[in-house]
Amino acid sequence: EDQVTQSPEALRLQEGESSSLNCSYTVSGLRGLFWYRQDPGKGPEFLFTLYSAGEEKEKERLKATLTKKESFLHITAPKPEDSATYLCAVQSNRDDKIIFGKGTRLHILP
Amino acid sequence: GAVVSQHPSWVICKSGTSVKIECRSLDFQATTMFWYRQFPKQSLMLMATSNEGSKATYEQGVEKDKFLINHASLTLSTLTVTSAHPEDSSFYICSAQLGGNTDTQYFGPGTRLTVL
């Protein structure tokens, strides 16, 4: 069964304190792994798509990496405006369905 | 680019009434749209996949007669919650797939449904 597990469930950091969010996945043939940011009461905002192990993508203070078993979202010198829930999702080769993890609630303290 | 809108952003209705939620892709054509629901602090749960001009494909456990989906054009999909009950109260989010070489889904802002 395809599965996505994100850790930690919640994370509080001081402004400027870098850290990483983890997304572990089990899927029968990875078609793509997606990272989204979701603010309270809003729909998810697309961040990255990763397709193969070893791939990396960056956007401002965020960098996503991918291995055959997990993905990391690295946050460098975060700011309070980076506070949000970060969602990881995977899509398998078997069908088009995208399975989401429960997310990591990130809170950056000023 | 890749903007998806939803209307309304929130709705409160009485038990037994029907509610229609619209999802529009504003600057691209989406052959496939998806409907999700999300409970507080929970992940998004796919309800159905909607393809333009054809019947929606519903996930196991989702009642197709209760959650009516219409994908009449390449830019519009609607979800109608029929005879809504308090347990249908949730955050409903649609997404649209850009198509082509990418499977990335772009999400709407969501609709908060509260059934009294």
Please provide the average confidence, as pLDDT, over all residues in chain B. Answer: 90
> Does B107 sit within 8 Å of A46, measured CB to CB?
yes
Please provide the average confidence, as pLDDT, over all residues in chain A. Answer: 93
> Does B93 sit within 8 Å of A43, measured CB to CB?
yes
Give the residue on A whose Cα is nearest the Cα of B112.
Answer: A41
Residue A82, φ and ψ in degrees, nearest 5: -80, -5
User: Pick from A44, A45, A91: which is nearest to B103 by CB?
Assistant: A91
pLDDT of residue B39: 85
**How many whole angstroms separate alpha carbon B89 and alpha carbon B103?**
29
pLDDT tens string B70-116: 988 889 999 999 999 999 999 999 999 876 555 788 999 999 999 99
pLDDT of residue A92: 83
pLDDT tens string A58-101: 999 999 999 999 999 999 999 999 999 999 999 888 776 788 99
Task: For residue A28, count CB atoms less than 10 angstroms from its CB and return exposed for 0-12, middle for 13-18, buried for 19 or more.
Answer: exposed
Give the residue on A whose Cα is nearest the Cα of B1.
Answer: A46
CA distance A30 to chain B (A): 12
